[in-house]
Structure 1
């Protein structure tokens, strides 16, 4: 991948205003994709703020039958473990809206990382650019399960990768690669809380963090609440 990340920083006074803006952006992206291509491919992020966004989304009016839902990463845990992103997203949104079950693509991480990587890569083999990728950022600058000091894979041949010895438990995970996450028409980072300020400062200063490896041609939108901002 040769793109340099172009950042559009958007700072919101409160997390509530950030969530409202994110919901609006998601619904607009869905309407646009369905009108232009007949389907909306969205990648969901884990985390508290995304969960609250999903809870807000379930009351929205959208053409849910044309949504196709993907995950940026997943923990290698049993399929019903509450720590899985898929379980969180199901409880917050997917069990409340009529998206066809066959259009929700979970990572089979309960079968182990190698099997899940092969299965998810196969599912993605005929999928073009994602319409919208939602991502968060950890206090160390990681995104999805792409951590500092680990492989991020910016090579197009690796859409999904196994992550071993993660600095955050559980140690085994599966993540979409930086290259596959960058293959998107729109990317929105959701970053909230004072604990993220150091990483935001490093990001703004151009330091080599995993978040900087996500570089779609259209650039990235970074939604910050005031607590996370450094300006």
Structure 2
């Protein structure tokens, strides 16, 4: 069951999202002494990451994974892991060995195989963060784009937006979690969010966590 909440603006969205992440972290650490978090790429989550960088948490118990990555050189500024490091991860004491970037610089096929081997021993995740593209994509799962429904990690070729080669967790891996938090901001996402609210078969509809799937949107996206 998808639950929608509308926030007044992007700042309120980032604050609410950061609080949701911390609540999930506290619950997971209390229950299991670790918090396994999957990060979203794109621009919308960056404000949330900057909020988290200013907050206190038991960072030593956090373990970070990525929902998707672009097949670009390891330190390319347009990679999702580099943006997360710049805005958050390099500013808090999460142990480096507990941050698991997708090795997308190796190419989609090799990176997908290696990340599959990695995450198999770390499932289920506690919280998965996702975004929503203007075309309705989430992670690097694009509407109408072929993918292997059984694969934990999917090599993506000929993506509808650049770069064409990517790596993405598949619906099977993204669903293997306690909860999902999707962040949607900006007027450019309004049509995609309306399609989602109307029940259209977008990739997010195939992601079914064990618990809550919460979508936080700002008023510009909500319309």
Partner of 2:47: 52
Deviation at 1:199, TM superposition (A): 1.1
1:52-83 alpha-carbon deviations (Å, 9 max, x no partner):
11111111110101110000000000001000
| Greater Cα shift, 172-181 or 196-205 | 196-205
State TM-score, norm by structure 1.
0.94
> Does structure 1 conserve the Cα–Cα contact (< 8 Å) formed by 2:179 and 2:210?
no
Q: Gaps spanning 5+ residues in structure 2: where?
A: none
* Cα distance in structure 1, aligned partners of 2:193 and 2:146: 21
Q: Gaps spanning 5+ residues in structure 1: where?
A: 1-5
Matched, 1:78 2:80: no
1:192-223 alpha-carbon deviations (Å, 9 max, x no partner):
11111111111111111112111213241000
Q: Which runs of 4+ in 1 moved over 4 A?
A: none
Deviation at 1:151, TM superposition (A): 2.8
Partner of 2:24: 29
* Cα distance in structure 1, aligned partners of 2:213 and 2:136: 15
Q: 1:221 aligns with which of 189, 211, 214?
A: 214
Q: 1:208 aligns with which of 197, 201, 214?
A: 201
> Does structure 2 conserve the Cα–Cα contact (< 8 Å) formed by 1:153 and 1:179?
no
1:145-198 alpha-carbon deviations (Å, 9 max, x no partner):
00012134432xx11010000011010000000111011101000001111111
Tell me the C-alpha RMSD between the 2 structures.
1.0
> Does structure 2 conserve the Cα–Cα contact (< 8 Å) formed by 1:41 and 1:130?
yes
* Cα distance in structure 2, aligned partners of 1:138 and 1:172: 17
Partner of 1:3: none
- Tell me how many residue pairs correspond in the alignment: 223
Partner of 1:112: 107
Q: Residue 133 of structure 2: SS of its match in structure 1?
A: coil
> Does structure 1 conserve the Cα–Cα contact (< 8 Å) formed by 2:102 and 2:111?
yes
